[in-house]
Amino acid sequence: MSQKPLLDLCERVMNNFVRAKGDHWGLHIALGMFFDGEGMSYRLEEVAPKTLRLSTGGSFSEWLAYATLDYTEYKEEIEAVAKRFGAEWNEEKGELFIQFKRNELSIGEAYFRLAQAMGVIGNFRYYIHFPGKA
Amino acid sequence: MSEFEYVPFHIYSEDDYKPLPCAVFIRSVMEKVQWKRFPDRIEITVPAVFFSGGTEPFTITFKPVGETSAEYSDGGKAIAELEKRVGDIAPYQKWLKEFAEREGRIHFVGGRILTMKVWALSSGYAVESGIFDMLAYASIVANLDMYPLTYEEALYARRADV
């Protein structure tokens, strides 16, 4: 049985791994990451000269609100995990973000760091077992 | 044509107009992604953060199994990183077993290599999703000590530390 078609498919995907479109608010970046079928995305903005801010979109905050029932209860845990990946947590907006200077961190590194933080925090729902909490 | 086509739009910032075309962004990310094709598999390397806190290459192997299924594996990286972090992973074995049972499609080959099987790879998007899922699973396993354990597990882990 030939494995070539799937290898070809994988190679095609890798050639077009990143998908983005822009508007006057910044770049919207589609991720191949889903939580319960909901696609996640990033937004990239330039907040100061040579300083970029990569943040998770509304889909992630909606997912997290649904998954944890009330993510404000898990502020400390979310912040601790985010910090491990160099990300920050904006509780008001319910978004994870990385703000970085372009000479300190590359866009590619920030892209994957945020994906890792999203992967861990976005799965809190399944692994959260605090004593006294549901 | 995909909604996310490569149109070189620009960023308009309130403070300072600095064009950053899509192409620049895409190139910046793609510079960090490498893949190598072998006769039976493709090895995809992306930057990731594990024990050291710095960025290091993380290789995910994509291996077709049959016509529509494929396996992704991390080569044992996640467990190795967890070991570096906690020393002994024995207190976490129960959790790892539960994790594999809960997720269904993942298992640990030889108790160490995190492997995920995807059964119906019909579109290109699923390949991409598999890469992000593997990144997420590996991050969860490698950072297991950050996850709140159950009360009993926490007690057991603490006892093991002593």
Q: DSSP string of A69-103? A: S-GGGGHHHHHHHHHHTT-EEETTTTEEEEEEETT
Are B131 and B46 spatial neighbours (Cβ–Cβ below 8 Å)?
yes
State the Cα–Cα distance between residues B69 and A9, nearest whole angstrom: 12
Confidence at A130, pLDDT banded by 50, 70, 90: very low
Residue A114: its H or E element: helix A107-122
pLDDT tens for A61-115 read 998 888 877 888 888 888 888 999 999 999 998 999 999 998 899 999 999 999 9
- Asked, for residue A53, whether it belongs to a domain, the answer is yes
Collapse the DSSP code of B125 into the 3-class scheme (helix H, G, I; strand E, B; otherwise coil) and give the result. Answer: helix
Count how many domains chain A has: 1
ipTM over cut 0.85: yes
Are B84 and B135 spatial neighbours (Cβ–Cβ below 8 Å)?
no
Indicate the domain borders of chain B: 41-161
- Closest CA of chain B from A75, distance in Å: 13
Considering only CA atoms, which of B104, B100, B103, B116 is closest in space to residue B61? B116
- Closest CA of chain A from B66, distance in Å: 7
- Chain B CB contacts of A6 under 8 Å are 64, 67-68, 70, 121
| pLDDT beneath 70, residues of chain B | 1-21, 122-124, 147-162
CATH of the domain at A59: 3.30.1460.10
Supply the pLDDT for residue B26.
87
Supply the pLDDT for residue A1.
59
pLDDT tens for A19-51 read 888 776 678 888 888 888 888 999 988 888 888
- Asked, for residue A99, whether it belongs to a domain, the answer is yes
Supply the pLDDT for residue B124.
65
Are A67 and A122 spatial neighbours (Cβ–Cβ below 8 Å)?
yes
- Chain A CB contacts of B32 under 8 Å are 106, 108-109, 111-112
Domain that holds residue A81: 19-127
- Asked, for residue A134, whether it belongs to a domain, the answer is no
- Chain B CB contacts of A112 under 8 Å are 32, 46-48, 55, 135
- Asked, for residue A78, whether it belongs to a domain, the answer is yes
Across the interface, whether the CB atoms of A21 and B15 are under 8 A apart is answered no
State if pTM tops 0.90.
Answer: no
Supply the pLDDT for residue B123.
67
Across the interface, whether the CB atoms of A107 and B62 are under 8 A apart is answered no
Its CATH architecture, for the domain B41-161, is: 2-Layer Sandwich (3.30)
| Statement: residue A53 has pLDDT above 60 | yes
**Mean pLDDT for the stretch of residues A112-131:** 75
- Chain B CB contacts of A52 under 8 Å are 20
State the Cα–Cα distance between residues A91 and A101, nearest whole angstrom: 23
- Asked, for residue A6, whether it belongs to a domain, the answer is no
